Amino acid sequence: MTTLIELDAVKKYYEMGDNIVKAVDGISLKVEKGDFVAIMGPSGSGKSTAMNLVGSLDLATHGDIYLDNKDIEHLEESELAQIRGKKIGFIFQTFNLIPNLTAKENVILPMLFQNIDREEREERAEKLLEMVDLEDRMDHYPNQLSGGQQQRVAIARALSNEPEVILADEPTGNLDTKTGEIVMQFLDKCNKRGETVIMVTHDPDVAMKHAKKIYWLRDGKVEKVTKKIKGKWTKVRK
């Protein structure tokens, strides 16, 4: 299988006064094309920092990060932003929708930065909102939508530039169980369609039901890696 993202012995340290916080302390992981990977861990385990590193939103203190076989540590920010914009679609726990834009306009927004012409932007946004069952909410603003509807707009927006990878940060964190399951079903649908999904979560039930591989983090390190093989979760490496 083709490796899309790889972290090799990556560390991310922060200086807090006289102390050094080891948010991520030497993790290695691979995300292959078409996979559904979960990064699991309790609060303070380093999973949010790991998400930023996996999504190329942050650079490592030590180690190497490869995005589509390119070592991002040596790229200019403008080049990195272009690659990130084309390769990765982001779904955030807090939705991060622009309040004064409609659902359709929120989905269109990322396409403006990729120089997609107006007709295609409009058509693609409408198809994506239909895919997440929001064709009757296209002209509604975020404050006119429920939490679940806002998260579905966020999914449509994440898919707007047809990325190879969907990176979801606690996609069910602000939702009730039923709505969260609907959102996860959309992510499953995206994965079955061929998109690679990386999900950061603290909920083992969500991770084990939907992911194919789980990296379990604790104290900034990979504690274990499990993989679903013939329907059963098996430890594959420490």
Inter-residue contact 40 to 207 (CB < 8 Å): yes
Q: How far apart are CA 106 and CA 225, in angstroms?
A: 36
pLDDT of residue 84: 82
Q: Counting beta carbons within 10 angstroms of the beta carbon of residue 107, is it exposed (0 to 12), middle (13 to 18) or buried (19 or more)? A: buried
Q: Give me the residue label for tokens 């726990």.
A: 93
How many CB atoms are closer than 10 A to CB 91? 25
CATH architecture classification, 34-56+76-237: 3-Layer(aba) Sandwich (3.40)
Supply 146's token pair. 């429920």
Tokens 């990130």 map to which residue? 84
Cross-strand partners of 197: 36, 166
Residue 76 is predicted with a pLDDT of 83
- pLDDT per residue rounded down to tens, the chain (238 residues): 788 899 999 999 999 888 999 999 999 999 999 999 999 998 889 998 999 898 888 889 999 999 888 888 788 888 888 888 888 999 888 889 999 999 999 999 999 988 899 999 999 999 999 988 999 999 999 999 999 999 999 999 999 998 989 999 988 888 888 888 888 998 999 999 899 999 999 899 999 999 999 999 999 999 999 999 988 999 997 5
Whole-number pLDDT of residue 238: 56
